[in-house]
Chains A and B, each alone.
Chain A
């Protein structure tokens, strides 16, 4: 028997429905019962197909890889003594993934949206000596590969894209709602599976959920953004994103 629960349910429903349908229709002469068996076949097929559509990598393997990446980057941040919050930038006009820069000085100048950062880990983004930072690819940047959100698509796209990524693809939350203000965006994530932890990495980049939300917001607005804060609420997590204009 298949290990996949959806596939197992699908096989049981399809075989059960196929066996019972002729029995109900020809022997018992009951159309509603035969129809019920027919619905079991359809439901079984849907379940089996959804079982086949499950990701090949198990959640445990994904969690292990995420944890490894976080710990490596946290060690690097700690070693370099970087404490400033990351600035999320949209993808450059020339193409490529959106990235985030962790500046040496948080109160320094903000890189402009159209600025092309060199493809290096440590990059200079301004004329001053302290305008230097760590350029990294965030989980949100990679998740945008399967969505195709064009830079500057507009704030209306943020909620739909975040729901698509966090609920549909990654299954990390039940739902996402977005409220847009003048210079801030509030993202409410209901029943998130990843919680905020007060560790160095999260203080710099935000939790993985906030990081994804900031990347999507930056890409949709075509503006640099920063995670201003994260709060646990009754429903889940409230993420505040600051838009840097």
Chain B
């Protein structure tokens, strides 16, 4: 399953690059890292148009879970901003 191997390798590479770049810039919010990982996952899933429908459904489930996490972060940030006022 060469297509699965290349997907996992590229995703690991994207995560490693994201972590390194954000760490160099001194980002210390875990939510920022998580948001970037979610974006990387969703972009890569979209780019792999040739992946089988079954695998696409499986990846969409993980993507949906990550997106739900991202929405929780957004809600928490909004609550935090509103709480300051």
Per the bound structure, the CA–CA distance linking A55 and B1 in Å amounts to 10
Q: How many residues of B contact A (CB 8 A)?
A: 36
Per the bound structure, the CA–CA distance linking A18 and B57 in Å amounts to 24
**Are A171 and B28 CB-contacts (below 8 A) given A32-B22, A43-B15, A164-B50?**
no
Q: Are A31 and B28 in contact (CB under 8 A)?
A: yes
Which listed residue (B29, B51, B53, B55) contacts A146, Cβ 8 A? Answer: B53
Is A52 part of the binding interface, using a Cβ–Cβ cutoff of 8 Å? yes
Is A20 part of the binding interface, using a Cβ–Cβ cutoff of 8 Å? no
Is A244 part of the binding interface, using a Cβ–Cβ cutoff of 8 Å? no
**Which residue of A6, A32, A36 has the most chain B CB atoms within 10 A of its CB atom?**
A32
Q: Is the interface of A mostly helix, strand, loop or mixed?
A: helix
Which listed residue (B8, B27, B57) contacts A43, Cβ 8 A? Answer: B8
Which listed residue (B8, B19, B49, B65) contacts A50, Cβ 8 A? Answer: B8
Per-residue contact bits, chain A 1-33, to B (CB 8 Å; 1 contact, 0 not):
000001001000000000000000100000110
User: Closest residue of chain A to B14, judged by CB?
Assistant: A39
Per the bound structure, the CA–CA distance linking A26 and B27 in Å amounts to 17
Is A220 part of the binding interface, using a Cβ–Cβ cutoff of 8 Å? no
Q: Are A168 and B41 in contact (CB under 8 A)?
A: no
Chain B residues within 8 Å of A35, by CB: 19, 22-23, 30, 33-34, 37
Chain B residues within 8 Å of A55, by CB: 54
Per the bound structure, the CA–CA distance linking A43 and B8 in Å amounts to 7
Which listed residue (A38, A46, A50, A171) contacts B41, Cβ 8 A? Answer: A46
Which listed residue (B30, B52, B53, B54) contacts A31, Cβ 8 A? Answer: B30
| B binding-site residues for A, Cβ under 8 Å | 1-4, 7-8, 11-12, 15-16, 18-19, 22-23, 27-30, 33-34, 37, 41, 49-55, 57-59, 61-62, 65-66
